[in-house]
Structure 1
Amino acid sequence: MLVFDHTVLLAMAIIFLGSFVQSAIGFGLAVVAAPLLFLVSPEYVPAPIVMVALFNSLFNAYKYRNNIALGGLKMAIYGRIPGSIMGGILLLYVSSSALSLWLGVMVLLAVLVSFLPVRFEPTPNRMAIAGVFSGFMGTSSSIGGPPMALILQHQDAASLRGNLAAFFVFSSIISLAVQYFIGYLHWDLFIKTLPLLPMGWLGYVVAQIVVKHVSKEWIRISTLVICLVSALTAIIRGLS
């Protein structure tokens, strides 16, 4: 039975923030939310975040459906499968403190990726490799966006959001399937996730309004600051 205590309310606020970021710039829900939610309750990572990511991605994929090129995502989706299996294997052997450290490192990696001036053309081989890394990171930590964002970052805003959202729909389903088979997804976690879903939707709605009045760069810089703080907090917890 779900009790709406301060922990649940805090988790709802964090999911709202993460969903807002993802809907505004194309990815970032788990990058923002995972380390913070892990501090609230380790049970929120990774499966509940992946469920919210799937929910949020469905809205974004529908909104940008005319900008999605599924053919170009095919190799990345194929790569996501073995990557997710490897991520599931990692989950079977890591402790709570190790997972906290892993989350922090993944977020710092995501921040580093956002500053890279390198331009990668989305060739089939690179998409497949990005899919493998996305699957490994996304299934083990819920943070699977950075590898794909790095490959697709030079697309126009609508195509970036649409293609990332479409990829996250398929990749979230794959990760959840792996997490289910290794025991990281069960009925109690589904119930625990239910209060988070409306906040995922609310973050999406607010982002559609705000992005018209606030520059994408300001949102990006604010997100990076939040990510740095949450990543360092998770790393300190993992090392303590």
Structure 2
Amino acid sequence: MSPGEILTVVLTVLFGATLQGSVGFGMGLIASPILILIDPRFVPGPILLSTTVLTVLLVYRERTAIDFHGIQWAMVGRLVGTVLASAILLVVSADQLVLLIGVFILSAVGMSLSGFRFDPIRPVLVVAGMLSGLLGTIASVGGPPMALVYQHAAGARIRSTMSGFFLLGTILSLGALWYVGRFGAYEIQLTLVMLPSVLTGFVLSKWTAVYVDRGYVRPAVLSVAAGAGLLVIIRQFV
């Protein structure tokens, strides 16, 4: 990578990690469509591994507000979604994957803007977990389905529960990627490029999280994600 590309990675991951540390999700939404333009192999493995590091830190910081019951049922769906995603990765080409990521991101934004209220009951959690497993394993953007379920909860509840879910889910997804040959030494090298920004974003989110309930961060996340998703799709046709 050139110095300019490395700088882009550093700043993009820093922004994404700060957002995820503030609202419970966002790193995959922000980083995937930009990093994939620099090196397609950033997605999904390196983003998932760096997100795992971030979620470990967030789970510890917000551990008193976790909804363990919700995580339990969402993980049932996550397992199903991860298996389906692994099968997809065996037959989808790199170019098709890029296009799918753009579509998935726009779909995720649409879900977040839909306005429907889905309470965190057992069937809803299982379905949200399955969708998160699909999106997370294929495109590193597994946050929106679970965020939609918990969007009416308190900020600490959202951050802690989604972080706990992501921690278990990303480990599962990374195992699936390794099994199908989509995660190895090169992906670990790319992850190391991202980690300083992940750690810095976590530190910054301690202060930005204070403003989450005032509604300032979520509109910015959705706007940037939609623009990035469109950029990925347009790039495939020009």
Q: TM-score, normalised by structure 1?
A: 0.93
Structure 1 unmatched ranges of 5 or more:
none
Alignment-derived partner of residue 40 in structure 2: 42
> Deviating runs (4+, > 4 A) in structure 1?
213-216
Give CA-to-partner distance per residue, 1:46-90, whole Å, 9 cap, x none: 000001111111111111100012122111112111211111111
In structure 1, distance between residues paired with 2:212 and 2:134: 34
Does the 8 Å contact 1:26/1:160 carry over to 2?
Answer: yes
- Mark the CA change 1:118 to 1:234 in structure 2 (over 3 Å): closer, same or farther: same
1:186-218 deviations in Å (ceiling 9; x for gaps): 012112211211211111111222343687422
Q: Which residue of 2 aligns with 1:74?
A: 72
- Give distance in 2, aligned partners of 1:213 and 1:107: 25
Contact 1:24 1:216 in 2 (8 A): no
Give the direction of change, closer, same or farther, for the CA distance of 1:187–1:161 in structure 2 (3 Å limit): same
Secondary structure of 1:109's aligned partner: helix
Q: Paired residue for 1:217, among 215, 218, 237?
A: 215
**C-alpha RMSD of matched pairs (Å):** 1.7
Gaps of 5+ in 2: none
Q: Kindly report which structure 2 residues correspond to 1:59-208, keeping only aligned pairs within 5 A, or say none.
A: 59-208=57-206
Cα 1:237/1:97, change in 2 over 3 Å:
farther
Match of residue 52, structure 2, among 51, 54, 57: 54
Q: Give the whole-Å Cα distance in 1 for the aligned partners of 2:151 and 2:218.
A: 13
TM-score (norm 2): 0.94
Instruction: Confirm or deny: 8 A CA contact 2:59 2:160 kept in the other structure.
Output: yes
Given that 2:136 and 2:142 are in contact with CA atoms closer than 8 Å, whether structure 1 keeps it comes out as yes
Check the 8 A contact 2:155/2:213 in 1, yes or no: no
Q: Give the secondary structure class of the aligned counterpart of 2:152.
A: coil
